[in-house]
Amino acid sequence: MQRRNLIQLALAGAASGILAPSVLQASPKSNDPNAMAGGVFYTKDAQGRWSGKAGSHLPNIEIKKKGEDVSVKITTDHVMNGYKHYIVKHTLLDKNYNFLGEKMFNPEEDEAISTFSLSKYSGPIYALSNCNKHDTWLSTAEV
């Protein structure tokens, strides 16, 4: 009886060794970079558990070009209510999600506005606005 159990166990182990790697290495169902929207970060179209909060948390992006120089202004229309509820920072990322810059805010500031200067950049940019209560919000614009 033990020999039969040992053979069954060995066959089951061999089968799992063949099948498990293909299951574990399966690619995600979507190659969409925003597949985490509505869970890890929030967007206008994927507000997740913070549905209805986009108006005051979504970063607004304003782009001004002067020759090859680009100025990016990010604003978040959010009340800065001291340490109780405020925008912690803005972060700017390039088309490959590489860091371009950030601005931390003092909770006692009146508004969340940041400006970044880019030189010779074109393509999409991603602005993140972090709220101390309502997580991270993402907006996209094209330079």
pLDDT of residue 28: 42
Task: Give the CATH architecture of domain 48-142.
Answer: Sandwich (2.60)
Cα distances (Å, whole numbers) of residue 43 to 6, 35, 96, 123: 54, 11, 18, 19
Closest CA to 121 of 87, 98, 91, 88: 98
0.95 exceeded by the pTM? no
Report how far residue 132's alpha carbon sits from residue 137's, in angstroms, rounded to the nearest whole number: 11
* Tokens, residue 104: 């931390």
For 72-121, the pLDDT digits (tens) are 999 999 999 999 999 999 999 999 999 999 999 999 999 999 999 998 89
Closest CA to 54 of 79, 88, 36, 78: 78
pLDDT of residue 82: 94
- Would you give the DSSP letter of residue 50? G
For 4-60, the pLDDT digits (tens) are 655 555 555 555 555 444 444 444 444 455 677 777 899 999 999 999 999 999 999
pLDDT of residue 4: 60
Report how far residue 1's alpha carbon sits from residue 76's, in angstroms, rounded to the nearest whole number: 71
For 125-139, the pLDDT digits (tens) are 999 999 999 999 999
* Tokens, residue 126: 């991603």
Domain ranges of the chain: 48-142
CB 118 within 8 A of CB 65: no
How does strand 112-119 pair with strand 69-76?
antiparallel
Backbone dihedral region of 135: left (phi > 0), alpha (psi from -120 to 50 degrees) or beta? Answer: left
